[in-house]
Structure 1
Amino acid sequence: MKTLVTLIFLYVASCSIYGQELLKVKKVSFKGNSAIRSSRLEEELTIKTSGKNGERFFNREADRFTMPLYEDNKERIKYAYQKEGFLNVTFDEPKIKVTPGKRVKITYNINEGEPVKLEKVTYTVDSIDSFQQFFSKKTQRKIRLQSQLKVNKPFRDDWFFADQAFINEELNNMGYAYARVNHKLTVDTLKNEAYLKWIIKKDKLTYFGDIAVEGNERVPTKNIVKQLQFEPGDVWSKYEIDESQKQIYNLGMFRVASIKTLITDDKPDTLSTLVVLKEAPRLTSRFGVGYGSEDKFRVFGDVQYLSVITKTGRVNLFAKHSALEPYNFQLNFIQPAVIFSFNSLNINPYFMKQHEPAYRVTRQGLNLTLLQHFTERFNSSVNFYLEEVNSDSVLVTSQARDTQYNQSSSYSKSGVAIGFVFSNGTPRLDPVTGYSLAVNIKRNGTIIEESVPFYRSLVEYKKYLGISQGVTLAFKGKMGLAFMSRSDDLVPVEERFYAGGGYSVRGWSRAQLGPKDDNGQPLGGNSLLEGSAEWRYLISPKIVLVLFGDAGNVWQNSFDYRLNDLHYSAGFGIRFKTPIGPVGLDFARPVFEKNNTWQIHFNIGNPF
C-alpha cells in the first residue's frame, strides 16, 4: 500500500509540476542481489534510461516512468531468478527518487530467498535398463563429469537444457540416431529440493549406409571419401560426421561442406549419407595496405591457386613490403592429407630482407613442414629447414667475445623445429574464457655439418578469465632460451630474443628493452622473460577500454633469469571490435625508470 501511495504521489506531483508530462527514468539499480550481478539483471530490463546529457549529445531517449513499466520489469527480474533456481524471490518496496534534474531513479529491492537445489538424479532407458546397465563405464564417467547439473547445487534452467542436449548427443554417438531424452522433474517447495529423472528412449541401433557425394568438379570423389571417418556398415555416429566435415574443410578446396544423414519416417536401421559440397574459386587474391607504429607503411599481396600438381594441392604466392621487411617473397605449396586425413605437407621456398632495430639481414631458404591438425584445439608441426643468411656487419654488433659473426657476414643454417599449440579460448579472435599454450623447440646444425650449432626454445602461455558481462582479465607469460652447443657465445642475431614493442613489453619501442652496445644498438640475448596482465572492459558493443601492466627483460647469457632485473610498464588502450578481430591503440610508459616517456603502440588484434 505504501508503495502504491508513493507511486501515485510521484505521478500526481510530476503531472502538476511538469504539465501532465511524466518524468523520465534516469537510472535503474538493484539492492539485495548477490546471486545475480546487477549487469546481468540490467540485460533483462526493457526500461530505457538516460540523463539530459545523454539525450542531448548521444540521442538516447529515456522511457517515461509508469506503474505498468515498473511492474513489467519486476516480472522480468523475477523470471531471471526463477531460471537460476530461485523460485521464492520477492520484492520489497522500491526506492524512487526524483533528481534535481527532474529525472527518476528507481531501485528494485530484492529478496532472493534460497535456491532450489538438486537432491537426486536417476536414469531409465526404455523403462528397463538402468544407467549402469546401459552406458559403458567410460560413458558413465563422462556424463557425471561433464553434466552441469550437480547434486547439492542450484537447479538452473540453462544447465538442465545443456545436459539434455549432451546426453542426447552421447546417444547419437553410440549409434542411436532416433534417441530421445525426456524427463520428469519433481520439486519440493518446502525443502527447496528438486528430483530429476532422465527418461531415455533409445530406439533402434543404426548404421551408416551408402555414401553419395555431390557438388565436386575438380576434386575427385575418392579424395573426399578418404577424409570421411566412417564407412558403410559402421555404427552411425554424429561425432564421426562432425569430424569428417572438419577433415573435408581441411583440404582447403571447398567453401561449403555439409554432411547429411537421410532420416525418413519409417526409421530404417541403415542410414544413407549425402555429402554436399561447393568448391572454392580456383584463383583468389588478397591485397592490402596499412600503417603501423613499428613497420610503418606496409603493402602486401597474396595469390592462391587451387588444384596444382595434385587435385588437392594448392599454391600461395605472398609478397610484402614494410619498414621492417623491405621485401618478403614466400611461395607455399600445400598438400593436405599427405599421409593421414589430419595432416598436410608444406613446401616453402622464400627470399626476404629484414631491417630490425638490432640488425639487417638477407635470408633465403627452404622449409619442409609437416602439419598435424589433430583437433580444432590442438595442432603440431615438424619443420626441416635450410637457410643462407647474409648480414650487414656494420649493424650486427655484439659482445667482444662474439667474434664468430663479426668476422663473417654470411653463414648457413639447417636443422629441425618442433612445435605445438593447444588453445581452447573462445571466441577465437577475441577470447573471454579459456587458455592457450604454445611451445617451439629448434635444433640448428643437424642437416649441414658446418651449420651454426645452437638450440632455441620458446614457451608462451595465455589465460582468459571472464569476470562479468563485458569484463575480461587476460594474462600472458613468455619464456625463451637459446644457447650455442659448442661455445657460450650468443646465437646468430636473427635467432636472439628481443623485448619491447606493441606485442612485447609496451612502453619501450621495438627491441629497445635489454642489453645494448656502446652505441646504443640492441644486442639481444639468449634468455627472455615476459609477463603481462590486461583488464578489458566493454564500454559499448564495439569499443573496449583496456588497462594493462607489462614486465620483462632480455639477458645475454643462457639460463640467466634475474627477477630483480625485470623492467615494468603500465598503460591504457582502446580497442575497436571488427570482423577480423580487435584493432586499437595502446598508450604505455615505463615505471620505476628515469626515462618514462609515453609510447604509442598500434595493434591489429589483441597483443595476446
Structure 2
Amino acid sequence: MRRKRQSIVISTISSALLLAAASHGHAAESYSAKIEGAPNGVGAKLSIISELMKGTREYPTAAALRRAARRDIDAFNNALQSAGYYDAQASFELIPAEDGQKPQVIYSISPGPAFRVTEYNIIYQDDGTDRPDTLADANITPTGAADGATLRDQQESFLSYLWNNGFPTAEIVNRRAIANFETAEASAIFVFNSGPKASFGEPVIRGTEKTDNSFLARMKTWEIGEEFERAKMANYYDRLRETGLFATVEVEPGQFGEDGLTPILVDVEERKNRTIGAGVSYSTTEGPGGRLFFEHRNIFGHGENLTTELTGSQIEQSVNVSISRPLPRLGARAFASSAFLNETTDAYDARTFEILGGLSKKWLDGRLETRGALKLETSNVRSADSEDRTYFVSTPLSVLWNSEDDLLDPKKGFRASWTVTPYAGSENFTQSEITARGRVNFGKNDVVTLAARTGLAATFANSFDALPLNKRYYAGGAGSVRGYGYQEAGPLDEDLNPIGGRSRIDGAFEARVKTIKNLQFAAFIDAGSVSTNAVPSFNDEFFFGYGAGVRYYTPIGPIRADIAFPIDKRESDSDFQIYIALGQPF
C-alpha cells in the first residue's frame, strides 16, 4: 500500500554532487547508456553523477553493468529528492548484446510532481528567549521551492540572522522535509541550537609583541554592551588585517561572562617590521634610473608606517620621508611627508622642497579612497632666459578607485583617479587631473591581454606665461608617449626646448600575448597632446608613438623591455627610444 506521509532527509551530499561542474565523456566501447524521462534541468545533472554515463571505464560482464547501474539508481533517487521530486522513482533495463551490438543500459525516470513547501517550522533544541520563531521574523521570504539547495540556503540565512542579532554560538543541528504525497506539498523543518543571547564585551588581544594592545582595542567596531552582531566582528577582523601588521589574524567570540558580555578573542602573529627594497630602470633619454626604499612598520606600536625613499636618474633625483598612522575611531589614516626634488630637463632646472600633511579614508572594501592634504612648497626654477623663486600653499584633494589585483602586473580590475589642487602664493591657479586604466583578457589561461589608459589635465585661472615652468604639463617619455624623449611630445621653442602647456591629453593601447610560461610579447601605440589652453582640445596637434616589447616574468614581477618609434618624426626627435623597467606600464 502506498505511504501517504513520509520523512525525507535532504541529502547535502547529493546536492553537492548535483552542483558539481564536470562533463562526461563518450561511453566506453563495451556498452552504451542513456537516461529517459528526467525532468527539464535535472537530466544533465543525473548524467554528471552517473557512473555509467561518464564512460570512464569498461564493464566486461552483464553482472558488472548491473552492479554499476544499481549504484546509479541509488544516486539518482537521492538526487531527484534533493531536486524537489520527493516521489520520484528511477529504474533501469539492461538490453543484452545481440547481433554484434553492444549491451545497452536504459535508465527510466518517473519523476512525479515537483513538490512545493507550504510550511516552514523553526525548532530549537536548547532553551532560550527572545529568539525568532519564523522565517518572517528573520526577514526571509520563502519561495516554496522544495529542492535541497534552496532549503539549505534558507536555513543558512536564518543562521546568519541569529549570528547578527545576539546569538554568537548559534549553530545548525539538522534539516528535513515532511512530504505529503497526496498533495505534492511538504513541510520544511529547520533545527538549531541558538545558545544564549549575548552582548559585545572587550576585545582580548593575544600574540602581540611590539603592537600596543590598547591601539588594537580602539579599532573595535562595536560599543561595549551592544547586542552581538557577527558582521561587526567580521568588520573588526578586516580592520586588523588591513593594517598590514600581522601575518595571521583570528577573531572569534569567547565564553559568556556572568554580566552577559561576550569577550572577543583576537589572536595575531606579527609580521617582520622592516623592509628594504630597490628597483632599476633605463631609457635612452632619461638614462639609467634607480629606486631605493626603506620601510619600518609599527615603529611606535600604534600602526605607524615610516618610509624613506630615494630615486635617481639623469633628469631627476629625489628623497622623500613619509609617515602615516591609523585613526581607528575615524576609520581613516593620517599622513605627513617631506621631500626634496632636483630636476634637470631640457625645459628647466628646478630644486623643490615641500612638506605635506593630510587624511585619507577608504570605502567600499578598500577599493575607493578619498584624500585631502595641505602642502607647502618652494622651488628655485631656472631656464635659459630666467630664474625664479616660487612659494605655494596648496590643498590637493583626490578620489581614487582601485580594484586592480596586483601592483606590478595587474590582470584584473580597474583604476581611476580625479585630483583637484588649488594653489595660492606666487601665482593663484587650480589644476585638475583625471586618469583611468584597465584591461581585459581573452583565451585559455588569459593568453591575450588588451590594456588601455587615458588621462586629462587642465589648469584654470592663470595665463600660460605666468604659470611656472615646473607646474606646466608635458608629454613624452616612458610613462607618457613612448617613442619621444622626456617632455618632447609637445610644442618646442626656437631652441627646440619643450615649453609645456596648461593642459594635456594622453592615452595608450597595448596588446599582450603570452607565448611560453615566462615570456610575453606586446605591441602598443601611444598618443598625447599638450596645449597652452586651459583645457585640452582634440584640435591641438597630437603626437603618436608605436612599438613593441617583451616581458619576462620573474618571482617579483615582469621585467619589461620596449622599443618605440615616433610617428611623423621631427628633425629634433630621435629615431627610436628604448625603455627597460620592472612591471607592466599600465
Matched, 1:467 2:442: yes
Aligned to 2:394: 415
**Distance between the aligned counterparts of 1:120 and 1:591, measured in 2?**
70
Asked if 2 retains the 8 angstrom alpha-carbon contact of 1:490 and 1:525, the reply is: no
In the alignment, structure 1 segments of 5+ residues that lack a partner are: 1-40, 47-66, 72-81, 92-118, 145-150, 186-196, 395-405
**Distance between the aligned counterparts of 1:489 and 1:261, measured in 2?**
63
Please identify the structure whose Cα radius of gyration is greater: 2
**Distance between the aligned counterparts of 1:84 and 1:511, measured in 2?**
65
User: What is the deviation of 1:211?
Assistant: 2.6
1:565 alignment partner, SS class: coil
Matched, 1:302 2:293: yes
**Distance between the aligned counterparts of 2:411 and 2:151, measured in 1?**
24
Matched, 1:510 2:501: no
When the two structures are superposed, what TM-score results if normalisation uses the length of structure 1? 0.63
Aligned to 1:455: 430
User: What is the deviation of 1:428?
Assistant: 5.5
Aligned to 2:454: 477
Matched, 1:292 2:270: no
Which of 246, 260, 265 is matched with 1:255 structurally? 246
Q: Which amino acid aligns with 2:139?
A: F
User: What is the deviation of 1:507?
Assistant: 2.2
Asked if 2 retains the 8 angstrom alpha-carbon contact of 1:211 and 1:232, the reply is: no
Query: 1:373 and 1:125, CA in 2 relative to 1: closer, same or farther beyond 3 A?
Result: farther
User: What is the deviation of 1:463?
Assistant: 2.6
Aligned to 1:274: 265
**Distance between the aligned counterparts of 2:389 and 2:189, measured in 1?**
73
1:240 alignment partner, SS class: helix
Query: 1:309 and 1:273, CA in 2 relative to 1: closer, same or farther beyond 3 A?
Result: closer
Aligned to 1:332: 322
Asked if 2 retains the 8 angstrom alpha-carbon contact of 1:416 and 1:443, the reply is: yes
Aligned to 1:390: 380
CA deviation map 1:442-476 (0-9, x unaligned):
0000xxxx432111111011233233331332222
**Distance between the aligned counterparts of 1:415 and 1:184, measured in 2?**
66
Identity %: 19
Q: Which amino acid aligns with 1:371?
A: S
Aligned to 1:575: 551
Asked if 1 retains the 8 angstrom alpha-carbon contact of 2:249 and 2:269, the reply is: no
Q: Which amino acid aligns with 1:451?
A: S
**Superposition pairs of residues 102-121 of structure 1, within 5 angstroms:** none
Query: 1:234 and 1:370, CA in 2 relative to 1: closer, same or farther beyond 3 A?
Result: same
Aligned to 2:520: 544
Matched, 1:585 2:554: no
Aligned to 1:535: 511
Query: 1:391 and 1:482, CA in 2 relative to 1: closer, same or farther beyond 3 A?
Result: same
Aligned to 1:562: 538
Q: Which amino acid aligns with 2:388?
A: S
User: What is the deviation of 1:511?
Assistant: 1.7
Asked if 2 retains the 8 angstrom alpha-carbon contact of 1:171 and 1:202, the reply is: no
When the two structures are superposed, what TM-score results if normalisation uses the length of structure 2? 0.66
User: What is the deviation of 1:236?
Assistant: 4.0
CA deviation map 1:283-326 (0-9, x unaligned):
x3515352421643344443445666785545333333322323
Asked if 2 retains the 8 angstrom alpha-carbon contact of 1:390 and 1:411, the reply is: yes
Which of 346, 360, 365 is matched with 2:354 structurally? 365
Query: 1:389 and 1:121, CA in 2 relative to 1: closer, same or farther beyond 3 A?
Result: farther
Aligned to 1:316: 307
**Superposition pairs of residues 422-433 of structure 1, within 5 angstroms:** 422-427=401-406, 429-433=408-412
Asked if 2 retains the 8 angstrom alpha-carbon contact of 1:425 and 1:464, the reply is: no
**Distance between the aligned counterparts of 1:367 and 1:360, measured in 2?**
23
CA deviation map 1:236-295 (0-9, x unaligned):
44443343234334555x23351321579xxxx97542212334455x351535242164
**Distance between the aligned counterparts of 1:407 and 1:546, measured in 2?**
43
**Distance between the aligned counterparts of 1:247 and 1:334, measured in 2?**
16
CA deviation map 1:15-49 (0-9, x unaligned):
xxxxxxxxxxxxxxxxxxxxxxxxxx9x9999xxx
**Distance between the aligned counterparts of 1:281 and 1:224, measured in 2?**
18
Aligned to 2:417: 438
Matched, 1:224 2:199: no
Asked if 1 retains the 8 angstrom alpha-carbon contact of 2:293 and 2:308, the reply is: yes
**Distance between the aligned counterparts of 1:301 and 1:221, measured in 2?**
32
Asked if 1 retains the 8 angstrom alpha-carbon contact of 2:405 and 2:411, the reply is: yes
Aligned to 1:601: 579
**Distance between the aligned counterparts of 1:313 and 1:263, measured in 2?**
29
CA deviation map 1:452-506 (0-9, x unaligned):
21111110112332333313322222111113x2545352222222212222222
Aligned to 2:139: 135
**Distance between the aligned counterparts of 1:352 and 1:310, measured in 2?**
31
**Distance between the aligned counterparts of 1:207 and 1:297, measured in 2?**
61
**What is the aligned residue count?**
466
User: What is the deviation of 1:342?
Assistant: 2.3
Which of 207, 214, 218 is matched with 1:215 structurally? 207
Asked if 2 retains the 8 angstrom alpha-carbon contact of 1:245 and 1:257, the reply is: no
User: What is the deviation of 1:575?
Assistant: 1.8
2:395 alignment partner, SS class: strand
User: What is the deviation of 1:213?
Assistant: 0.7
User: What is the deviation of 1:514?
Assistant: 0.9
Q: Which amino acid aligns with 1:600?
A: I
Q: Which amino acid aligns with 1:520?
A: L
**Distance between the aligned counterparts of 2:42 and 2:286, measured in 1?**
51
Aligned to 2:470: 494
1:389 alignment partner, SS class: strand
**Distance between the aligned counterparts of 2:45 and 2:540, measured in 1?**
51
Query: 1:279 and 1:522, CA in 2 relative to 1: closer, same or farther beyond 3 A?
Result: same
Query: 1:130 and 1:488, CA in 2 relative to 1: closer, same or farther beyond 3 A?
Result: farther
**Distance between the aligned counterparts of 2:520 and 2:411, measured in 1?**
12
Query: 1:435 and 1:317, CA in 2 relative to 1: closer, same or farther beyond 3 A?
Result: closer
**Distance between the aligned counterparts of 2:562 and 2:191, measured in 1?**
56
User: What is the deviation of 1:366?
Assistant: 1.0
Query: 1:285 and 1:462, CA in 2 relative to 1: closer, same or farther beyond 3 A?
Result: closer
Does 303-312 or 419-428 show the bigger shift? 303-312
User: What is the deviation of 1:229?
Assistant: 1.2
Query: 1:168 and 1:85, CA in 2 relative to 1: closer, same or farther beyond 3 A?
Result: farther
Query: 1:523 and 1:571, CA in 2 relative to 1: closer, same or farther beyond 3 A?
Result: same
**Distance between the aligned counterparts of 1:539 and 1:44, measured in 2?**
29
Asked if 2 retains the 8 angstrom alpha-carbon contact of 1:458 and 1:480, the reply is: yes
User: What is the deviation of 1:363?
Assistant: 0.6
Does 537-546 or 411-420 show the bigger shift? 537-546
Aligned to 1:397: none
1:367 alignment partner, SS class: strand
Query: 1:199 and 1:345, CA in 2 relative to 1: closer, same or farther beyond 3 A?
Result: farther
**Distance between the aligned counterparts of 2:276 and 2:43, measured in 1?**
48
